[in-house]
Amino acid sequence: MALPRVLAGAAALFAVAACVTALPAAAAMPSTLTLTAATNGGTPHVVELTCDPDGGNHPDAQTACMQLAQVDGDIENMPGTEAHIFCPMIYQPITVTATGLWRGRLVQFQDRYTNGCERDNRTGNLFRF
């Protein structure tokens, strides 16, 4: 009678252990994004951003990856700047794109902002390069 309880307990522990170890593995999947920014139809500036581990040629990969992690790679919901800065009313349109993979999920993002200040208020450090 005690053996079935021990086996059931062992099976439950095994199932919990499998779930616990699967979560960090999914969160640690490498992410690679190609980011572009172009003002007024000019030649785009292109950088590569890798996360988990942080790297690429993005000037502040650590902060950009941290901000992406906060929204699970959903750029539309980026936290933006800490304190939304008052932006001057200077019209210098900037178009940004992001393509690649975030933890195994396809990312395709494009948006246009009035100027770099508005872009930073909406997307934090991600396109600040």
11: left (phi over 0), alpha (psi -120 to 50) or beta: alpha
Cβ atoms 68, 58 nearer than 8 A: no
Query: How far is 60 from 10, CA to CA, in rounded Å?
Result: 46
Give the rounded percent of residues in the chain with a pLDDT score beyond 90: 60
Structural domain boundaries in the chain: 30-123
Task: For residue 125, give Cα distances in angstroms to 10, 22, 44, 73.
Answer: 47, 30, 17, 14
Q: What is the mean pLDDT of the chain?
A: 83
Q: For 56-112, how does the pLDDT look when each residue is reduced to its tens digit (9 = 90+)? A: 999 999 999 999 999 999 999 887 665 566 888 899 999 999 999 999 999 999 999
Which CATH class for the 30-123 domain? alpha beta
Cβ atoms 98, 33 nearer than 8 A: yes
Q: Which helix (H) or strand (E) holds 121?
A: helix 116-123
- pTM score, whole prediction: 0.74
